[in-house]
Every structure is written in C-alpha cells, then in structure tokens.
Amino acid sequence: MRVDNGINPGIVVGVIDGDRTYYYSYGVKSLSEKQPVNEQSVFEIGSITKTFTGIILADKVIQGKMKLDDPLQKYLPKGITAPIRNGASIQLVHLSNHTSSLPRMPDNFNPANPANPFADYSEKQLYDFLQGYVLPRDIGSQYEYSNYAAGLLGHILAASLGVSYEALMIDVIAGPLDLQDTRITFTPNMKKNLAMGHQGNVQVENWDITCLAGAGAIRSTTIDMVKYLRANMGKEKSKLFNAMQLSHKNSRAEGATPMVGLGWHITPSDQFEIVWHNGGTGGYRTFAGFIKGGDKGVVVMANSTTSIDDIGMHLLNPNVPLTDVTKKNNVEAPKEITVGAKILEGYAGKYELAPGFILTVTQDGNQLMAQATGQPQFPVFAKSENVFFYKVVEAQLTFNKNAEGLTESVTLHQGGREIVGRKVVGN
C-alpha cells in the first residue's frame, strides 16, 4: 500500500527468524525506469553507518589498542585542541553515544550544493569547528544526537591508522563478513543495482559524505545488511563477535534515557530489548534492528524520504503499530490560493542559494515555476501571498520583500533546513 499510494517508490525487507531468512520486495528502483527492487538493490543506509563506526571502536578496545575513556585529545593532530568543560575532557565513548555535548551539526556547514550537502565539508572545517566550539553543558550529562560527533569519531579512527574511513570499514567489517556490496564508493556492480533516491516523486542526487563519513556514508544491500545483523546476533561465526557484543552494551549511566551502546540504540520492548538504528539521506530511509539475545532481526530499505521505522519495529514487536498509509502520501496538501499575476511578476528572477547553485523562478500567466541548478522545472502553488509549496516534494518557498516592497530574497524550506537565497537577477 505504501508503494501503491505513492509514498515509497520501492521497499525491500529482510527478516531473520532463527536460522532462516526471508526477503520481501515491492516497487521500483526508479520511477522513471520502473525496474523492480530486490534484495540485491543498493541503498544509502545513512546513519546505520554509525553502528559500523561503533563496532570499529569496540574492535580497537577489544584488541587493547584504544580505551573507551581515552580522551579525544589523544587522537587529534598537533595544534588542534578539543574543548573541555569544568576540567573534563570529551572521551571516545561520548562521541559514540551522543553525550559529547557537541551539536547535531557544526555551524560552519555551508554546502555549495544543498542537494549533495556533505560533499565539500573538509577536514579543516571539521577541526576549525572543534577548536572554536564552546560546550553548552557538562560532558556526558545529556543525550544530543550528533552527526558531527560520530563523523569526528570515524575520522580520527581512520586517521590514527593513516587510512580512509572506507578502507578501515572494509578491513575491519565488510571484508571479514564478506559484504561485497557494502561500500562508500560505488563499485560497478553496486552502480548497476542502485535504487535511486527520491523525495516525493522526484528523483534526487546521491549524497557523497566525505570528512564525516563515519556518520552516514555507507551504501549497502538488504542481503549484506542481513549478513551484518546475523553476525551481530551471533548467528554467523565472526571474529568481531566480542566487539559487536560490546557495541550492544548500554554505555550510559544506569537509568539514563535513551540507552545507547556504541552507535546502536537500545529500546526496551515488552519482555526484551531491541538493538537498532535507522538511517536517512536525501532520498532514502533505512532500518536495521534485532532482539537482543533473541532469534529475530529485521532490515528495511526504502528509496524515498518517508520513514519506514514503524515497519521494522512492528516486525520485531507486533505490539508496535504500523503507520496509517490508507491516504495517498499520508499528508494533507496545503490549501491553494490564487495570487495575482502582477505579484507573481515581482517574484520572477534568479536566487543564489549557494555559490553555483541557483533557483530560477519564472512566471507563466498565473502560474509560478521554479528550477534549481541541475534539476527539472516544477510548478509551485501559493498558500499565502508570499509562501508557495511544491506538490512533487515536501518543500516550500517564502519570498522576502524589503521596505520598498521589492523582493530581495527567497527562503527554501526543505528537510528541516532553511536556506536563504539572495535575488541576483530579476525585477
């Protein structure tokens, strides 16, 4: 129903039930080409990458090469100083369990291409932010989900060995577990089997996460992710099992919520605990989880930005309800109003959302059209005199006027972010 109602172009599910594994798939890899998805289709797994980073850290701890309470400062380049608070230092464990007091994202994150936002975030920016940041609360005192902290952890783990994060991940996890289609850089086979990401019914770019790779850069298949879960569950023999077990252990103070291991989240559910993580990038949503000490595990992959967490949790615990998807897109569209052609004329022009990334707004009678660099042109519809919405994607445009009543900028609202573009050409 999610696919038939236009909510997800394609969904693939892998279910581990004891020694048996079942795969279910429905929908397509791309709305334009209509090839069906299956368990070999490649998806961006997003933040499930953080569990790989946590296991790599745990493996170093098991080998005696690192300690969870090692200070971050120990692994930073010469001349780079990590922030402290009340005499306490950030430890490696804090980076992995989201209690470092570092924010979700750094404030020097200004992508040149918002459609592929992590591609140009550099090591210099990574360390510049770290050195200049003032911690807002005591380290370890509070949970705040942090892509920056997890990305920083992945970066220093790789840098300590003089390799890339991808090379480290392959050496420690993907290679030993025979995850041949679990990579950051597409292999020819992965490219052939790629399920294209979508926002609504619009195909979008893949994300290339470079410096913050440890937070969300990995691509994989349902087959590989099932292998990964089976190893975590101890269903397949692996030299990583002890490290995996360590990564599943709650690393926060007793009674603190949520419970977090190294990368993994741990959620009490009836008489057992679910160890899990989800993932999301510009055009994908994914889920991987299993019952701790049990026989059931689930992987769910979708090539759109609509969450499928409820499917994963419901399959692990039937008492968790599924989202109602009986309505197409499960979202009531804003009410459309009519705006006069003269007002629309004032919105026409080019707006610079980022260097080299231009939103071109044109008028066709009483219809406003918008086209971003490298993307198709789409109509936008008025919900108020200066606020317009897309029907093909969850995004809005707000046109901002100066004191003289002339349009000077536009604000793009999409994916929880607001990007202001200055008007560079137009009335």
Domain parsing of the chain, residue ranges: 10-328, 341-426
Residue 342's CB is within 10 A of a number of other CB atoms, namely 8
| Secondary structure element (H or E) that encloses residue 127, with its range | helix 123-132
Span 220-246, pLDDT tens digits: 999 999 999 999 999 999 999 999 999
Output the pLDDT for position 415: 64
CA–CA separation, 231 and 226 (whole Å): 9
> What would the two tokens of residue 360 be?
């071109």
Secondary structure of residue 425 in the 3-state scheme: strand
Span 332-380, pLDDT tens digits: 557 899 999 999 999 999 999 877 788 999 998 889 999 987 677 889 9
| Secondary structure element (H or E) that encloses residue 131, with its range | helix 123-132
Secondary structure of residue 50 in the 3-state scheme: helix
Output the pLDDT for position 5: 84
Among 214, 317, 333, 197, CA closest to 267: 317
Output the pLDDT for position 333: 59
Average pLDDT, the chain: 93
Q: What angle do CA 283, 278, 156 make, to 5 degrees?
A: 95
Task: Please give the C-alpha separations between residue 397 and each of 111, 186, 219, 335, 360, in angstroms, as whole numbers.
Answer: 19, 34, 31, 15, 12
- What is the mean pLDDT of the segment spanning 31-45? 95
Contact by Cβ (8 Å): 158, 168? yes
Residue 17 gets the label, from left (phi > 0), alpha (psi -120 to 50) or beta, of beta
Q: What angle do CA 267, 317, 321 make, to 5 degrees?
A: 100
User: Which amino acid belongs to residue 233?
Assistant: M
Q: What is the DSSP string of 248-272?
A: HS--SPTT-SSEE-SS-EEEEETTE
Q: What is the DSSP string of 51-69?
A: HHHHHHHHHHHHTTS--TT
User: Which amino acid belongs to residue 230?
Assistant: R
> What would the two tokens of residue 220 be?
């994989």
Report H helices in 178-326. Answer: 188-192, 213-216, 222-233, 241-248, 309-316
Cis? peptide before 334, omega within 30° of 0:
no
Output the pLDDT for position 419: 85
330 pLDDT band, cuts 50/70/90, is very low
Percent of the chain topping pLDDT 70:
97
CA–CA separation, 384 and 350 (whole Å): 21
| Dihedral over Cα of 256, 259, 261, 263: its sign | negative
Residue 296's CB is within 10 A of a number of other CB atoms, namely 18
Task: Please give the C-alpha separations between residue 86 and each of 90, 137, 142, 188, 306, in angstroms, as whole numbers.
Answer: 11, 9, 15, 51, 42
Looking at the chain, how many residues does it have?
427
> What would the two tokens of residue 190 be?
């992965």
Secondary structure of residue 173 in the 3-state scheme: helix
CA–CA separation, 183 and 221 (whole Å): 10
Span 130-140, pLDDT tens digits: 999 999 999 99
CA–CA separation, 47 and 260 (whole Å): 14
CATH classification (class only), 341-426? mainly beta
CA–CA separation, 172 and 174 (whole Å): 7
Contact by Cβ (8 Å): 410, 397? yes
416 pLDDT band, cuts 50/70/90, is low
- What is the mean pLDDT of the segment spanning 40-60? 98
323 pLDDT band, cuts 50/70/90, is confident
CATH fold label, 10-328: Beta-lactamase (3.40.710)
* Adjacent-strand bridge partners of 72: none
The answer to whether domain 10-328 and domain 341-426 are alike in fold is: no
Q: Does 4 score more than 70 pLDDT?
A: yes
Secondary structure of residue 161 in the 3-state scheme: coil
**Residue scoring higher pLDDT (355 or 320):** 320
> What would the two tokens of residue 59 be?
């493996």
Percent of the chain topping pLDDT 90:
78
Output the pLDDT for position 329: 46
Phi, psi of 368 (to 5 degrees): -100, 135
| Dihedral over Cα of 223, 193, 198, 415: its sign | positive
Q: Does 393 score more than 80 pLDDT?
A: no
Report H helices in 136-177. Answer: 147-159, 165-169
